[in-house]
Amino acid sequence: MGRGVSPLLTASLIHAAVDEVLQTDLTEFKQQSVETEGEGDEERFTLLDGELLQRCFFNKLRDVCLEWQKQLPPLRPLKRFLLVSIHAIRNTRRKMEDRHVLLPEFNQLFGLSDDVDRAYFAVFDGHGGVDAANYSATHLHVNVGLHEEIVKNPAEALKCSFQKTDEMFLFKAKREKLRSGTTGVSALIVGNDLHVAWLGDSQVMLVQQGKAVTLMEPHKPEREDERARIETLGGCVTYMDCWRVNGTLAVSRAIGDICQKPYVSGDADGDSFELTGSEDYLLLACDGFFDAVKPYEVVDLVLDHLMQSEGVGLHTAERLVAAAKENGSSDNITVLVVFLRDPQDILADCLRDPKGLGAGDDARSSPFNFLSCEAAATQ
């Protein structure tokens, strides 16, 4: 799509064009059939010619654009306030293996026409190559959007789609001899509910009224339940500069890692939370960030940035990435901040009641929230 086209229109056009493609006879794109066996079952997959299919898609997209120039269908934007700040760097690593996805236009992309707002966000941290992260960033949200429970049980749709994506990638990995894997964390906002799911040590956190709220526990081999699961399957957890599965991976669940299945599980954990309107923002990030910046420090850093930018939140993620790098992170770093309230309002609340923010348990002993807001209030 050309520059300057609104994401809302872009997502709607893509859905319409894909719908047109799916109504055509796809047998002309058939490349070959592949059989795979697993646990006594034999499945057959048909591979399509990607180049021909892509050409068909763009032809359909052109036709839809021409039609919509005559009569543009109604486009319904989100009712909920969302502002996204994203920043990712390779840092000192040789390759960038992180990937991220942001889809505030989830409904438009999948043709969901009910009156419920939906938005999807995800961060993937690849290892052993970028194939698994690329694949997950391309397919996970599609599996969520096409899941039969997406409307009635979105939490189940999100959680199950991780395993579905893992199964799909393992088939590709076996066929193409790929050994990479990826952790992943995703957040799906549906109306006033927040659903999260994750594999590995990429994390999502929430800040509510200036306090950091823990939403999940990352999958690490040293977790008692994860160690027990791995050892029951016949694997081991050993310490080699950090705790590792079978002496290799420092995460106990991931998409891919075909050589470490089933010890490295593709079965995601998930949870759901009600959004009351008092939430400030979500933050999704890889371990390159969370290993260097603690959740309670996030609150300090974001408020500091909002003070300096006079409430402009678009570059918040850049400030957080810079902080992780300053604190010694040499890994790829990806930070995705989803403001659920206007940053101007978050800053105004801080200035109005500087003693009331950052005073919760997760804020620990950091004096920043009180001191910085006090200083700003007197300027």
Q: Yes or no: say if 306 and 99 are a contact pair by the CB < 8 Å rule.
A: no
Residue 362 has pLDDT above 70, yes or no: no
Residue 359 has pLDDT above 70, yes or no: no
Percent of the chain at pLDDT > 90 equals: 83
| Residue 226 phi, psi dihedral angles, 5° rounding | -70, -40
Tell me what the mean pLDDT of segment 121-138 comes to. Answer: 98
Of 127 and 370, which is predicted with more confidence? Answer: 127
Closest CA relative to residue 194, chosen from 132, 307, 118: 118
Query: 195-228 pLDDT, tens per residue?
Result: 999 999 999 999 999 999 999 999 999 999 999 9
Residue 127 has pLDDT above 60, yes or no: yes
CA distance 327 to 297: 12
* DSSP SS3 for 187: strand
Peptide bond connecting 218 to the previous residue in cis, omega within 30 degrees of 0: no
Query: 149-183 pLDDT, tens per residue?
Result: 999 999 999 999 999 999 999 999 999 999 999 99
Mean pLDDT, rounded, of the chain: 91
CATH 3.60.40.10 fits 83-352, yes or no: yes
| Residue 245 phi, psi dihedral angles, 5° rounding | -80, 120
Query: 291-328 pLDDT, tens per residue?
Result: 999 999 999 999 999 999 999 999 999 999 999 999 99
User: Where does the pLDDT of residue 73 fall: very low under 50, low under 70, confident under 90, or very high at 90 and above?
Assistant: very high
- What is the number of residues in the chain? 379
Tell me what the mean pLDDT of segment 78-86 comes to. Answer: 95
pTM recorded for the entire structure: 0.91
For the CA atoms of 107, 317, 192, 158, the dihedral, rounded to the nearest 10 degrees, stands at 60
Instruction: Sheet containing 203-208: give its strands across.
Output: 83-89, 333-339, 279-285, 203-208, 211-214
Query: 246-301 pLDDT, tens per residue?
Result: 999 999 999 999 999 999 999 999 999 999 999 999 999 999 999 999 999 999 99
- HSE of 371, CA atoms in CB hemisphere, 13 A: 5
Tell me what the mean pLDDT of segment 85-99 comes to. Answer: 97
Q: What residues form DSSP beta bridges with 122?
A: 101, 186
Residue 27 token pair: 């047998």
Tell me what the mean pLDDT of segment 81-103 comes to. Answer: 97
